[in-house]
């Protein structure tokens, strides 16, 4: 795993990324192009048995760190790295 890929797997990376939010400008856009991310996704997703195009997989994408529904996934046992942006969104919603 490259240093960039290793960083993407750490909550600290995402805390730093989402802490840049001013509450007005979204931080949930793709932070890298698909070409930059394709290798990162290749073996765990695109080449995984049952997930190749001929398998016609169904993949649920729950959104990004400032998506409100993601908390349900965390409560179901999935790992969530967006606590910094979640706190910012909570403050924004109270206004």
Q: What residue ranges do the domains of the chain occupy?
A: 23-87
pLDDT tens, position by position, 35-46: 777 788 788 877
Q: Considering the entire predicted model, what is its pTM?
A: 0.38
Reply yes or no on whether the pLDDT at 92 is more than 60.
Answer: no
Closest CA to 21 of 71, 91, 94, 95: 91
- pLDDT bucket at 33, cuts 50 / 70 / 90: low
CA–CA–CA angle 44, 84, 70 (5° rounding): 50
How many distinct helices (H) and strands (E) make up the chain? 5, 0
């Amino acid at each position: 795993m490259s240093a960039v890929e290793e960083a993407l797997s750490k909550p600290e990376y995402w805390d730093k990324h989402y802490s840049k939010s001013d509450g007005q400008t979204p931080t949930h856009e793709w932070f890298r192009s698909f070409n930059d991310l394709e290798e990162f996704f290749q073996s765990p997703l695109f080449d995984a048995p049952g997930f190749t195009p001929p398998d016609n997989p169904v993949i649920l994408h729950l959104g990004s760190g400032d998506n409100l529904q993601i908390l349900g996934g965390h409560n179901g046992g999935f790992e969530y790295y967006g606590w910094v942006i979640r706190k910012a969104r909570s403050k924004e919603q109270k206004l």
